Amino acid sequence: MKSGNEIDQPDFWVGYNMTPADVKDSDFSNSLLLIRKVLKTKQPEAERFNTKELTSGNEPVKEALCLPLKKGHRLWGMFYLDNIYLDNQFSILNRSEIKWLAGLMGLYIEQTLDYNRLKEEKKTLSSAKTIQMEQVHKEEIVYESQVMARLLSQVDQLASMESTVLIQGETGVGKELLARRIHGLSHRSSGPLEIIELTSIPENLLESELFGYEKGAFTGADHQKQGRIELADKGTLFLDEIGEIPLSFQAKLLRVLQEKTFNRLGGTWTLSSDFRLIAAANKDLQKQVDAGHFRQDLFYRLNIITLTIPPLRDREDDMVLLAKYLLSRYTHKYGKEEIQLTPEHIVLLKDIHGREMFAS
């Protein structure tokens, strides 16, 4: 039995040897008075009935016990029990014993409901995780080597963190695919993934592209534009080839990474963006720092978790598998007859010269 919006109309929740029809029966009227009293006072009651007007199952009810179920000061339900067989089963309990019993029962039911709720949440999260993994696997990271298996296992473990990730590796090894996998398995997967290829943006447009601009900020700025950093709010910002960013712009980027605040070009309002940063570099950033081409403080800000993807020439186990995958993918895409690798092709792939050609 739990209370509804009105004390006068309590809602029947679940019963043993009792149905909602019994509650509405005129024989239940005296018990209903006791129930309403407990719902109003929020105090447990045990009452002995001397009248034979109240019956349950065509037998006179001798006693009734009502226990309020509370969480803190909030009443969320009530337990009702009546007795048609024996006298003095409830009324012999003193008020402190009844209160203790009500508190114990309320705690037990509350913990049971919480347990069931957590089971459902776990089931839901497990299903969501499975869907996420299926979506991530669509990104087609093809491998069978142990080195890639270890790397992806590490990626899957760190994906739920909020730390900045730096992905290093040669051009074409799949740094963007790895970034997509991290985002897809993170708590930010429902948010945006903003991918910025820094080498494709001219230096004079870099600030407006990342920070955005206000109308009239410069000649031709006839409208307001949000920057990519602003668009990455509640999601992930992936800066590809960050080693190519001009030294003159690195200080501005460092401030954004430290404060998560920025100003649009021509703007006076300070804006904020809650994003997780993933950066990628095809150069050794430490060597870039040593050569004076990259700020040391920016490198330290990026170098929190570093992942290095080995080139394909160092992953012989993956070569044949990837070659077969690409042949199957593109023959299917263009409606061509499937091409099978011959033993000679496989030998060529594993040849040192062949490996260099395939990785280029």
* Domain containing residue 68: CATH number: 3.30.450.40
Cβ neighbours for 287, distance < 8 A, ≥ 6 positions apart: none
For 323-344, b/e burial (b = at least 16 CB within 10 A) is beeebeeeeeeeeeeeeeeeee
Are residues 270 and 173 part of one domain?
yes
pLDDT at site 15: 75
Are residues 355 and 292 part of one domain?
no
pLDDT at site 312: 85
Cβ neighbours for 29, distance < 8 A, ≥ 6 positions apart: 54
Are residues 157 and 273 part of one domain?
yes
pLDDT at site 322: 81
Q: How far apart are the first and last CA of the chain?
A: 72
Whether 102 is covered by a domain: the verdict is yes
pLDDT at site 79: 84
pLDDT digits (tens, 9 = 90+) for 114-123: 777 777 766 6
Are residues 153 and 99 part of one domain?
no
CA pair distance 135, 325, nearest whole angstrom: 18
Whether 126 is covered by a domain: the verdict is no
pLDDT at site 341: 78
Are residues 191 and 167 part of one domain?
yes
Of 207, 287, 288, 305, the C-alpha closest to 244 is 288
pLDDT at site 309: 93
Whether 85 is covered by a domain: the verdict is yes
Work out how many domains the chain is built from and give that number. Answer: 3
Residue 106, both tokens? 């309320």
Q: Residue 296, SS3?
A: helix
**Contact indicator for 290, 283 with CB cutoff of 8 Å:** no
- DSSP-derived secondary structure letter, 2: B
Residue 276, both tokens? 């997780």
The per-residue DSSP string of 6-43 comes to STTSPBP---SS--HHHHHSGGGHHHHHHHHHHHHH--
Spell out the alpha helix ranges (H) of the chain.
20-24, 29-41, 95-137, 146-158, 175-185, 206-211, 228-231, 247-259, 285-290, 296-302, 316-333, 343-350, 352-359
pLDDT < 50 regions, the chain = 1-5, 54-56, 128-138, 352-360
Q: Which of 67, 95, 116 is the last residue of a domain?
A: 116
Amino acid (1-letter code) at residue 306: T
Are residues 159 and 42 part of one domain?
no
pLDDT at site 253: 92
pLDDT at site 346: 75
Are residues 321 and 305 part of one domain?
no
Are residues 293 and 208 part of one domain?
yes
Are residues 337 and 291 part of one domain?
no
- Using CB atoms within 10 A of its CB, is residue 105 exposed (0-12), middle (13-18) or buried (19+)? middle
Are residues 184 and 87 part of one domain?
no
Are residues 305 and 169 part of one domain?
yes
- Using CB atoms within 10 A of its CB, is residue 114 exposed (0-12), middle (13-18) or buried (19+)? exposed
Whether 135 is covered by a domain: the verdict is no
**Contact indicator for 181, 158 with CB cutoff of 8 Å:** no
Query: What length does the chain have?
Result: 360
Sheet holding 275-281, edge to edge: 193-197, 235-240, 275-281, 165-168, 305-308
Supply the range of the domain harboring residue 219.
147-310
